[in-house]
Amino acid sequence: MDVDPMTRPEKLPAPAVEQWLEGRSWTREADALVRTFVFPDFRSALAFVVSVGCWAERRDHHPDVELGWGRVRLRWTTHDAGGITRLDLEGAEASDGAAPR
């Protein structure tokens, strides 16, 4: 599902974000969802970044990415809305789905 850039979602209220966070490995840092994923090597971490990047590119909504040996830190926020939107929740969920189990 591609996102129409003319209909960007609005910033979610804090209680909605807190409810979404319950039971998940994500945290809230200011106006962003953040999670660090751990991998056995650089190749696995890079493959994960490529997978998340392809999802993000299809939706024209991109996380901040920190890639290191065996780790990837993602930060999802919607700059246009000034905080977390449904796009960020969807991005975080897609990132979870792209991570090896």
For residue 81, give the DSSP letter.
Answer: G
pLDDT of residue 6: 56
Q: Is residue 71 part of a domain?
A: yes
Residue 55: both structure tokens together: 């999802």
Q: Residue 53 falls within a domain, yes or no? A: yes
Whole-angstrom CA distances from 96 to 9, 10, 21, 34, 84 are 21, 23, 13, 12, 17
What does pTM read for this prediction? 0.91
Q: What percent of the chain has pLDDT over 70?
A: 93
Q: Residue range 73-80: average pLDDT?
A: 96
Distance CA 46, CA 13 (A): 33
What's the total number of domains in the chain?
1
Burial of 3 (0-12, 13-18, 19+ CB in 10 A): middle
The answer to whether the CB of 45 falls within 8 A of the CB of 69 is yes
Q: What is the mean pLDDT of the chain?
A: 94
| pLDDT at residue number 31 | 95
Residues 19-65 have pLDDT tens digits of: 999 999 999 999 999 999 999 999 999 999 999 999 999 999 999 99
Q: What is the pLDDT of residue 1?
A: 46
Domain that holds residue 54: 25-98
The answer for residues whose C-beta is within 8 angstroms of residue 71's C-beta and 6 or more apart is: 36, 37, 38, 39, 45
19 in any annotated domain? no
The domain that holds 73 is classified in CATH as 3.30.1360.20
* Model pLDDT, residue 74: 98
